[in-house]
Structure formats: structure tokens, C-alpha cells
């Protein structure tokens, strides 16, 4: 797989080829391709200030569409391709967004009438935090912060007020909702969430508990408990881990009070050497036997087959060169069901999905999809076996200027007029086609198909559905059903918006006019925004909610109840109706009907991201096919090949009857894979409950993206765009069914709460990452203190025995890395010589008691020493991971990078870099642009821990061609631009922080020893060449913001001692593409900064210590390691393999002595090879995680 970026004279990207497949083996020769060879390209155009003015999407070099951007003072206008939403962003003097305009038309017209746009307004605190958001109807979201910048109060117009509290480590300890219900979190001594309570910790009701650090899995959670009022608990316990801390057996335990459903249900997982799942085991239950599903894979670790000992399921899988799923072959031994998928060149959009059944390959489904250029679905056509126009199911869709669905209809069509798929509007060779049956307005042609319908919707500026018209299929307007929606009128007095009337997005009445009479439904809400009562057809249903926002009980007008229970993570585990109790386990449902002692089971089979089959309690298997959002629409009997089909409208309501009408649909999964709760009339979708009749969720969304005004409506499903977008988690919509972590192209993102203007949102990645950093810092501090305390006492004992004092220096200097080596030496000595000295000094009878006591003390201290060292290593790993996650979360939250794609693969190591014209402070006080710096130039460097400032030479320069994520720092009113991952020394924090972690008010070190304050931070993205330096010995240098030099880190992982002769050669060594080099002296069993130590085998660092050092190095951002260290890959040792297992990445290591010549050339051979006493012939050996000997 190859991706290319091409740059212009200014260093900006002119053209980028998205990842494409290149035949043949990789080589060190440049691969040249023509435009016609690459399916997906993006071209960029810029103005004179280097700002992007056009982003042009091309296929094989031919333009298909473009997104243009224009600038007018503090206004930025975005004109998208057809189907997109035109916007204008207005910023204040500090560059913060203060208004966001969305236009009703497809082109930004800032001078047009205000009625043709919706305006969302933002205000910020003096510290830059989001203070308020006001929508186009004046509804306001408010955020209050304490002096430490923590969100302590937020007010939602629908959900009311929420109060948040924190501990001294900035960990969220409690929330209090609008109903004054308090949820509290208790943390353990290492800062990990331990338990949750309704009410205060140890005073209220304990809800959940998480347990950690069982023998064999130190540092990992192994059990979670969900407590019942009677003290019993549902639990999930990992019974066994493998050596890589992966769960092997997980037991789900149901308490005894559940009768026949009670018991322990073990689920197992086995792994292949390469880390792929070899098999998964499910327990026997409900009449279904235990089953172990085994998987096979191709050489790229893509699954090929799935089968158990008694049945096959997936007999074959076909993948494209770019790993798109093309075909699934399903069979249990009977007729084969074949699912095929087709994608559009360039866009990779799904254009066709077919299902063929039996040896004659009868086409049971043949769906075609067409799109506008922005990706909105324009039509879905099923042309399977078109015996007549009545069997052709052509659905057409129309949208308003905000990309919201306003019409969906099924016109009568022929095979010719139903034909069409792909994206319309491109060049002739690559343009798709919409069915001509969809060209005419729905009112001008008759409706048709097996389940004809035409529904129209009207939606206001803030995403509230105001009207729905269900048109008569014969187009007789007198027979239409019209539904009018009223909002914020809780008292039903006809005057919305009064005090106590509820939130602006809460529908309170639906008035329905039908040919057979009029009726209405009414809805009431609690102060937290949850639907409390629904009155439909005169019957009132009452709904109860817990403090976590989960529906716990629904009571019908006749008094019958349906209750629900959730596990420690919030997933549903039990439903109890008047007729039965259903238990939900992974991929399995167990049901016990009232009055029965027989438990029945339903088992679901998932493969390649799809639910491909279901086995019911009668042991019948059906293969399943779904639409593009995961709603099952076809079930095939695995034995007979009989097909059952169901259809739904865009919002998930049933459309027509099952086909055949005598058929039955297996299981209870419905819209986007949600659980149909027949007793309540709702669908359980992820985190929330959904009403398919309203097309809305019935409780507010816990995640809000304030950059998307339509998503701010917490009840609307998928921003009122249910065909293009989906929301299978109930949290955040996306357009590929993956949900939550996806961008506008359907690609997964790390941050579930992308936002341009808000630094954090409740439940979003920033808040969680900030809490994790605080917890990790606390864990690290405690581990260091434990290590230091034990170490100091051991040193004092050694001083008393041996009369030495040098060992205490490392603790007084604060250099714990040096202490680690010193203490390991002392600890090793206790197993040898010092033990003998103890005996000699305290071995006489009158001293023996003191000697025994001292020996016990030493034993305890050694335990604390090694425990502290191990905890430090784990804490360091956790802290660096947490800080990296925080940087990424902040970057994405402030920039809303909805088009970021992780470049997974082996590119050049990601160095931390500056723009080419960034100036560097030289040793003579002069400045020089970083692009002009050469090895040998002398620069001013500072060790920030000691404050020692000296002159050092530049030993190497580093150029990165494709950095994309930048932060612009304002320091003393001047700008300095760096990649978000470049570390700066923050005096106010006394530590290195990545640029993406800096916030206004932090202070940086200057060359004079004073501080400079970060005044503003702005994130942006573009492809840009960047530069970094490698400095000898002290790995820092100064870059300038205007005339102010501030201290930055360089890019190096060199663990040699400062006087090592090899230091001067390293910068000349050619890097290995995709590997991060680590330099340290080594042996088959350990490494050390000193050659003599490594050669002599004394005071060696083991793989755990080295892994901790690598992960703690701010230059290492993950990926494969080239371990430039003698003999660490030798067959007589396991060091490199152990390191690979510990880091979870490939490690490349030499199987002999590694020699580096002054010109940087490396070779591997036997000892003395460089002196001519032997020959070269060694090699680099690859060690993959999961391996062993």
C-alpha cells in the first residue's frame, strides 16, 4: 500500500494520492505513478497568504468536485460540493469562533437575508474556555469553570443543570443532575476508578465496582460488579490471562435470585502467535450446546473462514487489494448463501450489495445505491428478480439545504428507470447515475413497488420535526395523514415556552389528522430531559429513569411493567416483562418465560464487522443480510434456503408486511441492530431508547458537538438524516454504521467528541484523557516515592555495612534513572556479598536477633524496591500514553479534524518538527533558519533539570515531508508554529509537554533563564514539510517566537553515556524506513549505557526497564523499533523477543556485534570483526510481538 504527497515551492501540499495498491514487493526505489494509476487524489489551491482556497477531489487525475474556501477579514466562507452545507465562520480578535452560519442554500451568501441562514453563537472565558453556545432560536448552553480550568457547572436547555466536582488530582468525583441525584466515583490508591455510588461514596447506594491487580495480571482490571439492592451482584470476571495479559476465560455470573437463569457462563478466547484470535468459545445454555468458533486468516491477517466442530458458517471470504470486503460465502452444509459488495472507484462508497442463495444462485437481494457529491444517499433500489414493476423496490430521497431528509418515496419503475448507482455529477468516465424514476417530483408520478410509501417531513432551524405527511399511496391527498408536532408546551395549554414547559427540543404533542378521524399523542418530561409519560391513543405509559440516565421501568396503563437492568459499563443485561425475563450475554440472549422452568437461547454470530447468522432455541440457523446501516432486511434458512424479507422506512418503522407474510423474523434485533422491545413500543439502541414512530430518541444525547448545530438537538435521530447517517450507539452519528468514532467519510477517529470551539465535552475524549493524565501522574508519584523510600533505607543499611556513601547521591540529585541502575546493583549484592557481611556483623548470638530483624527488613525493602520499580515502569507507560491521548484529544477537540486518517504502516519515523523558516538560536547569539542548519553548527542548549547551559554541536538534521497537525503558539505577541507533538520545557509545570498540551498561561524557559508566557494556542491542519535537529549529549535547543528564544526538545533516542565515542557517528547512520532507532550497548540478555557493563554482564537493564525508557522518551510515538545494540538478537538470548512482547511492536535487532564506521555505515559480525580477526556476516533479525522460544 502506497500514499504520495507532492509539494509546491512554498512547502505546501499541491496534490495527495490516497492509499493505493502497488503490485510487487516493496523496494528502495521510488515508485512513480501517473494520475491515471491512482483512484483517489486530492489537489489543493492556496491564496497568497498560504491559506487553502480549494480542496479538489479527483479520480485518476480528473476533477469530480471541489470545496472552495474564501476569506473576508474575520469571516471564512466554505462552499461545498452539491449536497453539502454552506457555512461561514466568524472569529474574534483572538481567532476564536464566535459565530457559525449555516445557509439554507448550497452557496454561502453572507450579504443575503438573515432568514436564509441559521446562526449559532459562541462566547468564551478569559482563559479561552467555551462559556456559552446559543442556537438560532436563542436557546443557550452554559459552562462554568473553576480557577483550575475544570468544568464545574453546565446548563443544558433540555437536560437542566449539572454540577461536577473533582479531587485534588483533577479526577471527576461526582456529578449532580437537575433532579439533585448524585453519582460519585471512588478511586483506588493508584488513581483508578474503583466504585460508583448513587449518593456519596460509602454513604449512598453502591452501584458498581472494578477490581484490579490479581496475581498474574498486576496493573490490569480483572473483574467488574453491578450490585442489586439486595446486595447480590452481576459480575464479569476474567478468570485467566495469557502472558500478554489478554483474557483467555471470562466468566459472566448471574446471581441466585434469578432462578433458572442464575449461574456462571464462561466465554473463552484463544490467540494465534501473530495476535489474531484463533478461536472463541461460548457456553452451553438454553438448549444450545457449547461451541468453539475457529478462524482462519490470510497472510495479511484478514479472516477467511469461521467454523466450529459441528458446523461451518463462513466458508470463504474475498477481500480487495485494499482490504475492502468483496464477498462472503456462508453455509452450514446446506445451500450456500453468497453476499457480494461493490464499491465506487475513488470514493469507495458502497454502490451495490447482492445476496445469492442456492446452487442456482437465485438473487434474493440486489440493492443499488446512488449519492450526491457530498455523500448523501439519493436512492436505494432493489432489483432482485424483477418479474414486474411491482417487485422493483425503488426508494428516492430528497434533502433541504441543511442536508436533512425532507422526502422519501417509492415511485413506480421499470427495469430501465430503476437502473442507477454511484455518485452523480462527476466527469463522464466516473460519474454515477441516479434512477430516472427518481427524477420527477413524487407528486407527479404514481407510487409503486412491493411496499409503496411517500413521507414528507418539515424540520425547523434547530432540528425539530414540525410536520410529517404520510401520503396516500394512490396519491389521493384527501387520504393523507398529517402529523403536527408541538414543542416545549409541557402543560398542554397551547402556549409553549412558559416556565416549566420543558426544553426547546422536547416534543410535547403530536396532533394527527387522518381520513378516519383525528387523534393526538402527548409527552411529558422530567427536569433532566427524560420522557416521563407518553399518552398514545388515550393510554398513558409511565417511564422511570435512574441517575445514570438509563430507562429502568415502563408501566403501561393497565399496570403491567417492563423493567431493565444494566451492567457496570452501562450495557443492558436484563429485561423483565409480564411474560418473560431475558438475559443478555455477549452474542447471546437467554429467555425464561413466566411459569416455565425451561430456558431458551438465541445465539448471534459476528464476522468481519457484521452479524452474519443467528441460531434460535430450536437449533435453527438463519443467515442474515443487512442494509448499509446494519438493519437486517433478509434472513435465509441455512437448511432449506427459504428467504424472509422485511422492509423499513428511513426512521426504522416497519414498511409493509414480511415477505412472505407467513414467514417469521428470527430474533428481536431491529433498526440499526437495536433491540425491539415489543412490550414498550421502543427500540433499545446503544446507550438510549428510540421511538421509531416519532423518529426520535426519548432522552437527551449525552454527547454534544457544538460545531454541528443540527447535532445539538439531543433527541433528533442522526441529525434528521437517517439514510445517509446512522447512530447505532445512541451517542453520535456517522455515515457508515461504525458509529461514534467516525468522520464525515465514515473513517474511525480517536476522539468521540470532535469540536472546533469547545475544549472538552461531558463524556468526551478530552475530559477522559485529562482525568487519565491526572491519575497517571498520581500513580507515578506514588511509585517513585515507594522506590525512593525503600532505596534510601537500603542505601543506609549498605552504608552501615560497607561504609560507603556514594550510592545516596543519586537520590539527592533526583535522578531516578541513575538510581534504578544503582539500586539494582545493590539489590543484586544482597543476594551475594552483602548477605555475607550481614552474617559476619550480626552472626554472634548476642547480635543474632538484630541480624534476623535486619534481614527481614531488607527482605521487605527489596520487595518494596522491586515493587516500586515495576510500578514506576507501568506508571511511566501509563502516563506517556495518557499524555499522548490528551494531546490528541485536545488537538481534535479544538480543531475538529473530521478528515484525519491515521497513516497506518511503515512510514518514516514521526519526528517532532518546526516549519522550515523557524529560527534557531546559535551559540554566538545569532539566528539561523532551521532549514539552513547543518551538522557541525553550534547551538545553545540547556539541561532544564539542572539549569546548566552550554554550547553543543548539531549532529544531525531531520526532515519530515508529511506532517499535518500543527499548533500556532503566541508568545510575547509573536507566533511560533510547531507540530502538536513537539515537546517544550514548561517551567510552570516543571516538565516537558507536547505543543498540543500547552494552554494559555503556561510559561516556557527562555535562553536568559527567564520565562515567557504562552498567550494563545491555535490548532490547524495542512500538509507541510518540517525540520528538526539532533543535538549531541544534551538533547535540547532554542527556537524563536519573534525575538524570544524558548527551549525545545530534539529528536533522538540515544541511551549511550555522554562520553561514548559512537555518539558522533549516530547522526550519519542511515535510518531504516519505518523504524525508530534506539541506541544502547547490549548483550543477549540485557543492555547498558556503558560498553564495559554490557560486555561484562553486570548491572544490565532488562527488557522491562528499557521498554519503560523507550515509552517515556517523548520522541518515541509508537511503531517498530530498530534496536541498535550488540547481540540483542542473538539466538542464545531472548532480550529482543522479550522487548517486542513488552512493547507490542516489531523489534529489529542484530544477531551479532554491531559495528559503526565513522561514515555511519553499519555492519554485523563476530567479536573482533572490525579488527580483521573475523568476518562479517551477521544480520538484522525481526522479532514480532507474541513470539517466544
Average pLDDT of the residues in 1152-1179: 70
Note the pLDDT of residue 818: 40
CA atoms within 13 A on the CB side of 164: 19
Q: Tell whether 1045 and 910 lie within a shared domain.
A: yes
Note the pLDDT of residue 30: 85
- The segment with the largest mean pLDDT, out of 29-43, 218-232, 1046-1060, is 218-232
Note the pLDDT of residue 895: 37
Grid cell locating 911: 519526528
- Listed in sequence order, the DSSP H helices in 1027-1134 are 1063-1066, 1091-1096, 1103-1112
Say if residue 44's pLDDT is above 50.
yes
CB 931 within 8 A of CB 1027: yes
Other Cβ atoms less than 10 A from the Cβ of 91: the count is 17
Domain count for the chain: 4
Other Cβ atoms less than 10 A from the Cβ of 50: the count is 11
CA distances from 521 to 484, 488, 510, 511, 835 (A): 10, 14, 5, 7, 84
Other Cβ atoms less than 10 A from the Cβ of 1014: the count is 23
Q: Which residue has the cell 534513572?
A: 817
Note the pLDDT of residue 855: 53
Q: Is 194 helix (H, G, I), strand (E, B) or coil?
A: strand
Say if residue 1169's pLDDT is above 70.
no
Grid cell locating 20: 493505493
Q: b/e for 980-1012, b at 16 or more Cβ within 10 A?
A: bbbbbbbbeeeebbbbbbbbbebbbbbbeeeeb
CA distance 232 to 255: 6
CA distance 753 to 520: 37
Note the pLDDT of residue 1047: 93
CA distance 465 to 364: 35
Q: Tell whether 1080 and 1163 lie within a shared domain.
A: yes
Name the strand (E) or helix (H) holding 691: strand 688-691
Report the range of poorest mean pLDDT among 143-147, 958-962, 1081-1085: 958-962
Note the pLDDT of residue 1111: 74
pLDDT tens per residue, range 502-541: 899 999 999 999 998 899 999 999 999 999 999 998 899 9
From 761, 752, 756, select the one nearest 733 (Cα to Cα): 752
CB 937 within 8 A of CB 922: yes
- Using omega within 30 degrees of 0 as the cis cutoff, is the peptide bond preceding 660 cis? yes
For the chain, give the longest Cα–Cα distance.
111
Report the range of poorest mean pLDDT among 262-271, 884-893, 942-951: 884-893
CA angle 956, 960, 966 (to 5 degrees): 120
CA atoms within 13 A on the CB side of 382: 22
Strands 610-615 and 688-691: unpaired
Q: Is 49 part of a structural domain of the chain? A: no
pLDDT tens per residue, range 1080-1091: 888 888 887 766
Query: Between residues 1186 and 767, which one has the greater pLDDT?
Result: 1186
- CATH number of domain containing 1030: 2.170.16.10
Note the pLDDT of residue 790: 62
CB 164 within 8 A of CB 183: no
CA distance 501 to 535: 17
Strands (DSSP E) along 546-641, which ranges?
551-555, 561-566, 572-576, 580-585, 588-593, 599-607, 610-615, 621-626, 632-637
Note the pLDDT of residue 912: 52
Q: Tell whether 1059 and 1137 lie within a shared domain.
A: yes
DSSP state of 289: P
Contacts of 1047 (CB under 8 A, 6+ apart): 942, 944, 984, 985, 1004, 1005, 1006, 1007, 1036, 1037, 1038
Q: Is 154 part of a structural domain of the chain? A: yes
Q: Tell whether 1094 and 1012 lie within a shared domain.
A: no
Note the pLDDT of residue 697: 98
Q: Tell whether 1126 and 1109 lie within a shared domain.
A: yes
CA distance 396 to 312: 39
Report the range of poorest mean pLDDT among 114-123, 189-198, 774-783: 774-783
pLDDT band at 491 (very low <50, low <70, confident <90, very high): confident
Name the strand (E) or helix (H) holding 705: none
From 566, 563, 567, 565, select the one nearest 580 (Cα to Cα): 563
CA distance 3 to 657: 48
Grid cell locating 401: 439545504
CA distance 308 to 874: 38
- Listed in sequence order, the DSSP H helices in 803-844 are 809-813, 816-830, 833-842
Rg of the chain over CA atoms, in angstroms? 33
What residues form DSSP beta bridges with 339? 328, 355
Q: Tell whether 781 and 848 lie within a shared domain.
A: yes
CA distance 791 to 813: 14
Q: Is 522 part of a structural domain of the chain? A: no
Q: Tell whether 1057 and 1040 lie within a shared domain.
A: no
Note the pLDDT of residue 1098: 53
From 956, 551, 960, 895, select the one nearest 756 (Cα to Cα): 895
From 152, 647, 145, select the one nearest 391 (Cα to Cα): 647
CB 1129 within 8 A of CB 1151: yes
Say if residue 745's pLDDT is above 60.
no
CA distances from 313 to 176, 359, 397, 593 (A): 49, 17, 36, 30
Q: Tell whether 1060 and 1042 lie within a shared domain.
A: no
Contacts of 129 (CB under 8 A, 6+ apart): 143, 145, 149, 151, 759
Average pLDDT of the residues in 1090-1094: 67
CB 87 within 8 A of CB 75: no
From 691, 681, 689, select the one nearest 651 (Cα to Cα): 691
DSSP state of 742: B
Q: Is 478 part of a structural domain of the chain? A: no
Contacts of 1062 (CB under 8 A, 6+ apart): 1056, 1079, 1156
Q: b/e for 110-138, b at 16 or more Cβ within 10 A?
A: eeeeeeebbbbbbbbeeebbbbebbbbee
Q: pTM of the full predicted structure? A: 0.68
Q: Tell whether 979 and 1064 lie within a shared domain.
A: no
Contacts of 431 (CB under 8 A, 6+ apart): 422, 423, 424, 425
Boundaries of domain holding 1020? 905-1050
CA distance 845 to 170: 55
DSSP state of 1060: -
Q: Is 771 part of a structural domain of the chain? A: yes
Among 145, 179, 212, residue at a domain's last position: 212
Say if residue 805's pLDDT is above 80.
no
Average pLDDT of the residues in 574-594: 97
Q: Is 943 helix (H, G, I), strand (E, B) or coil?
A: strand
CA distance 970 to 411: 59
Grid cell locating 899: 478528515
Q: Is 957 part of a structural domain of the chain? A: yes
Say if residue 224's pLDDT is above 90.
yes
Mean of the per-residue pLDDT values of the chain:
83
Q: Tell whether 913 and 1037 lie within a shared domain.
A: yes
Say if residue 899's pLDDT is above 70.
no
Say if residue 481's pLDDT is above 90.
yes
Among 174, 191, 212, residue at a domain's last position: 212
Report the range of poorest mean pLDDT among 3-12, 269-278, 727-736: 727-736
Note the pLDDT of residue 822: 45
Q: Tell whether 1010 and 1083 lie within a shared domain.
A: no
Region of 656 (left: φ > 0; alpha: ψ -120 to 50; beta: rest) is: left
pLDDT band at 839 (very low <50, low <70, confident <90, very high): very low
Report the range of poorest mean pLDDT among 4-13, 389-398, 745-754, 1006-1015: 745-754
CA distance 376 to 359: 36
Report the range of poorest mean pLDDT among 31-40, 436-445, 687-696: 31-40
User: What long-range pairs does 464-467 form, CB within 8 A, spacing at least 24?
Assistant: 464/504, 464/505, 464/507, 464/713, 464/716, 465/507, 465/694, 465/695, 465/696, 465/716, 465/720
CA distances from 183 to 179, 234, 729, 910 (A): 12, 20, 22, 42
Say if residue 233's pLDDT is above 90.
yes
What residues form DSSP beta bridges with 42? 16, 57
Other Cβ atoms less than 10 A from the Cβ of 26: the count is 12
CA distance 194 to 188: 6
Q: Is 268 part of a structural domain of the chain? A: no
pLDDT tens per residue, range 178-216: 999 999 999 998 889 999 999 999 999 999 999 999 887
Query: Between residues 824 and 1116, which one has the greater pLDDT?
Result: 1116
Q: How many residues does the chain have?
A: 1189
Other Cβ atoms less than 10 A from the Cβ of 438: the count is 25
Q: Tell whether 888 and 991 lie within a shared domain.
A: no
Q: Is 197 part of a structural domain of the chain? A: yes
Among 842, 863, 893, residue at a domain's last position: 893
Amino acid at each position: 500500500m502506497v500514499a504520495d504527497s507532492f509539494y509546491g515551492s512554498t512547502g505546501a501540499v499541491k496534490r495527495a494520492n490516497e492509499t493505493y495498491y502497488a503490485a510487487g514487493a516493496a523496494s528502495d526505489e521510488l515508485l512513480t505513478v501517473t494520475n491515471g494509476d491512482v483512484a483517489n487524489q486530492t489537489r489543493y489551491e492556496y491564496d497568497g497568504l498560504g491559506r487553502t482556497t480549494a480542496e479538489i477531489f479527483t479520480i485518476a487525475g480528473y476533477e469530480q468536485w471541489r470545496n472552495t474556501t474564501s476569506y473576508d477579514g474575520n469571516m471564512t466562507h466554505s462552499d461545498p460540493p452539491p449536497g453539502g452545507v454552506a457555512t461561514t465562520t466568524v472569529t474574534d480578535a483572538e481567532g476564536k469562533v464566535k459565530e457559525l452560519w449555516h445557509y439554507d442554500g448550497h452557496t454561502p451568501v453572507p450579504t443575503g437575508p438573515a432568514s436564509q441562514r441559521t446562526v449559532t453563537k459562541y462566547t468564551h472565558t478569559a482563559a479561552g474556555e467555551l462559556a456559552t453556545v446559543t442556537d438560532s432560536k436563542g436557546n443557550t448552553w452554559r459552562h462554568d469553570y473553576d480557577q483550575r480550568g475544570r468544568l464545574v457547572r453546565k446548563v443544558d436547555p433540555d437536560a437542566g443543570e449539572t454540577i461536577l466536582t473533582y479531587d485534588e488530582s483533577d479526577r471527576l468525583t461526582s456529578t449532580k443532575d437537575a433532579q439533585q441525584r448524585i453519582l460519585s466515583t471512588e478511586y483506588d490508591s493508584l488513581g483508578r476508578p474503583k466504585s460508583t455510588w448513587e449518593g456519596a461514596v460509602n454513604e449512598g447506594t453502591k452501584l458498581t465496582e472494578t477490581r484490579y491487580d490479581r496475581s498474574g495480571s498486576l496493573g490490569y482490571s480483572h473483574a467488574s460488579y453491578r450490585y442489586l439492592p439486595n446486595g447480590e451482584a452481576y459480575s464479569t470476571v476474567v478468570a485467566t490471562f495469557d502472558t500478554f495479559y489478554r483474557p483467555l476465560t471470562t466468566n459472566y455470573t448471574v446471581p441466585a435470585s434469578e432462578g433458572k437463569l442464575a449461574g456462571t457462563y464462561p466465554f473463552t478466547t484463544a490467540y494465534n502467535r501473530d495476535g489474531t484470535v484463533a478461536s472463541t468459545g461460548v457456553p452451553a445454555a438454553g438448549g444450545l450446546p457449547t461451541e468453539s468458533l475457529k478462524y482462519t486468516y490470510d497472510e495479511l491477517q484478514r479472516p477467511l473462514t469461521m467454523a466450529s466442530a459441528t458446523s461451518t458458517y463462513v466458508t470463504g471470504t474475498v477481500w480487495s487489494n485494499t482490504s475492502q470486503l468483496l464477498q462472503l460465502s456462508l453455509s452450514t452444509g446446506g445451500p450456500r448463501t453468497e453476499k457480494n459488495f461493490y464499491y465506487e472507484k475513488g470514493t469507495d462508497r458502497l454502490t451495490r450489495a447482492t445476496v445469492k442463495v442456492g446452487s442456482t444462485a437465485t438473487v434474493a437481494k440486489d440493492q443499488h445505491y446512488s449519492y450526491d457529491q457530498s455523500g448523501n444517499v439519493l436512492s436505494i433500489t432493489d432489483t432482485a428478480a424483477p418479474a414486474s414493476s411491482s417487485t422493483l423496490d425503488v426508494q428516492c430521497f430528497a434533502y433541504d439545504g441543511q442536508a436533512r431528509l425532507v422526502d422519501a418515496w417509492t415511485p413506480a419503475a421499470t427495469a430501465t428507470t430503476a437502473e442507477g448507482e454511484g455518485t452523480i455529477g462527476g466527469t463522464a468516465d466516473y460519474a454515477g447515475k441516479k434512477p430516472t424514476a427518481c427524477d420527477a417530483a413524487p407528486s407527479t408520478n404514481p407510487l409503486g413497488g412491493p411496499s409503496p410509501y411517500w413521507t414528507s417531513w418539515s424540520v425547523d432551524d434547530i432540528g425539530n420535526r414540525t410536520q410529517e405527511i404520510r401520503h396516500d399511496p394512490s396519491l389521493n391527498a384527501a387520504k393523507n395523514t398529517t402529523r403536527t408536532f408541538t414543542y416545549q408546551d409541557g402543560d398542554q395549554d397551547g402556549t409553549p415556552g412558559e416556565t416549566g414547559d420543558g426544553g426547546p427540543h422536547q416534543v410535547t404533542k403530536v396532533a394527527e389528522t387522518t381520513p378516519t378521524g383525528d387523534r393526538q399523542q402527548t409527552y411529558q418530561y422530567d427536569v433532566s430531559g427524560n420522557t416521563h409519560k407518553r399518552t398514545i391513543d388515550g393510554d398513558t405509559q409511565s417511564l422511570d429513569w435512574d441517575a445514570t440516565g438509563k430507562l429502568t421501568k415502563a408501566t403501561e396503563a393497565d399496570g403491567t411493567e417492563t423493567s431493565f437492568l444494566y451492567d457496570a459499563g452501562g450495557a443492558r443485561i436484563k429485561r423483565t416483562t409480564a411474560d418473560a425475563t431475558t438475559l443478555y450475554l455477549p452474542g447471546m440472549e437467554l429467555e425464561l418465560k413466566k411459569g416455565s422452568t425451561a430456558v431458551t437461547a438465541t445465539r448471534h454470530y459476528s464476522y468481519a464487522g457484521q452479524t452474519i447468522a443467528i441460531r434460535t432455541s430450536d437449533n435453527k440457523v438463519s443467515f442474515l443480510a443487512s442494509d448499509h446501516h446494519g438493519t437486517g432486511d433478509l434472513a435465509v434458512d441455512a437448511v432449506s434456503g427459504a428467504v424472509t424479507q422485511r422492509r423499513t422506512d428511513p426512521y426504522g418503522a416497519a414498511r409493509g408486511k414480511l415477505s412472505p407474510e407467513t414467514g417469521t423474523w428470527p430474533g428481536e434485533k431491529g433498526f440499526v441492530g437495536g433491540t425491539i422491545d415489543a412490550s414498550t413500543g421502543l427500540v433499545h439502541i446503544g446507550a438510549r431508547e428510540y421511538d421509531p414512530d416519532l423518529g426520535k430518541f426519548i432522552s437527551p444525547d449525552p454527547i454534544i458537538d457544538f460545531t454541528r448545530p443540527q447535532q445539538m438537538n439531543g433527541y433528533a435521530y442522526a441529525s434528521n438524516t437517517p439514510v445517509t447517517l446512522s447512530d447505532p450507539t445512541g451517542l453520535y452519528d456517522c455515515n457508515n454504521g461504525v458509529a461514534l468514532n467516525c468522520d464525515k467519510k465514515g473513517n474511525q477517529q480517536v476522539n468521540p467528541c470532535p469540536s472546533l470551539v469547545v475544549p472538552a465535552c461531558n463524556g468526551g475524549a478530552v475530559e477522559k484523557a485529562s482525568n487519565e493524565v491526572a491519575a497517571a501522574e498520581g500513580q507515578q508519584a506514588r511509585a517513585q516515592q515507594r522506590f525512593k523510600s525503600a532505596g534510601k533505607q537500603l542505601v543506609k543499611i549498605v552504608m552501615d555495612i560497607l561504609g560507603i556513601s556514594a550510592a545516596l547521591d543519586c537520590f539527592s540529585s533526583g535522578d531516578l534513572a541513575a538510581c534504578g541502575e544503582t539500586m539494582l546493583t545493590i539489590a543484586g549484592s544482597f543476594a551475594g556479598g552483602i548477605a555475607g557481611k550481614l552474617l559476619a556483623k550480626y552472626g554472634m548470638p548476642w547480635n543474632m536477633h538484630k541480624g534476623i530483624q535486619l534481614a527481614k527488613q531488607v527482605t521487605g525493602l527489596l520487595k518494596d524496591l522491586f515493587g516500586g520499580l515495576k510500578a514506576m515502569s507501568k506508571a511511566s507507560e501509563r502516563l506517556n500514553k495518557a499524555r499522548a491521548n490528551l494531546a490528541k484529544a485536545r488537538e481534535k477537540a479544538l480543531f475538529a479534524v473530521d478528515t484525519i486518517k491515521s497513516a497506518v504502516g511503515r512510514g518514516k519515523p514521526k519526528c517532532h518538527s518546526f516549519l522550515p523558516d523557524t529560527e534557531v538560536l546559535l551559540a554566538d547569539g545569532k539566528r539561523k533558519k532551521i532549514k539552513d542548519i547543518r551538522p557541525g553548527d553550534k547551538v545553545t542548549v540547556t539541561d532544564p533539570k539542572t539549569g546548566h547551559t552550554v554550547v553543543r554541536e548539531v549532529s544531525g538534521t531531520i526532515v519530515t515531508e508529511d506532517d499535518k497537525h500543527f499548533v500556532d503558539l503566541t508568545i510575547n505577541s509573536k507566533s511560533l508554529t510547531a507540530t502538536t507533538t513537539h515537546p517544550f520545557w514548561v517551567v510552570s509545570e516543571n516538565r516537558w509537554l507536547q505543543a498540543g498540551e500547552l494552554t494559555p498561561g503556561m510559561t516556557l524557559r527562555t535562553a536568559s533563564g527567564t520565562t515567557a508566557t504562552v498567550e494563545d494556542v491555535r490548532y490547524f491542519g495542512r500538509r507541510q514539510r518540517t525540520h528538526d535537529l539532533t543535538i549531541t549529549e544534551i538533547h535540547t535547543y532554542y527556537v524563536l517566537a519573534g525575538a524570544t528564544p524558548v527551549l525545545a526538545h530534539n529528536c533522538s533516542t540515544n541511551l549511550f553515556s555522554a562520553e561514548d565515542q559512537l555518539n558522533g557517528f549516530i547522526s550519519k547512520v542511515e535510518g531504516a524506513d519505518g523504524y525508530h532507532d534506539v541506541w544502547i550497548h547490549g548483550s543477549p540478555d540485557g543492555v547498558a549505557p556503558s560498553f564495559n557493563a554490557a560486555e561484562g554482564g553486570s548491572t544490565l537493564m532488562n527488557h522491562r526497564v528499557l521498554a519503560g525508557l523507550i515509552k517515556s522518551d517523548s520522541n518515541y510515538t509508537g511503531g517498530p523499533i530498530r534496536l541498535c545494540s550488540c547481540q540483542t538478537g542473538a539466538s542464545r538470548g531472548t532480550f529482543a523477543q522479550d522487548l517486542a512482547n513488552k512493547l507490542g511492536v516489531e523489534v529489529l535487532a542484530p544477531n551479532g556485534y554491531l559495528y559503526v564506521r565513522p561514515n555511519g555505515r553499519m555492519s554485523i559480525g563476530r567479536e573482533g570483526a572490525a579488527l580483521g580477526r573475523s568476518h562479517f556476516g551477521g544480520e538484522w533479525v525481526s522479532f514480532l510481538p507474541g513470539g517466544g522460544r
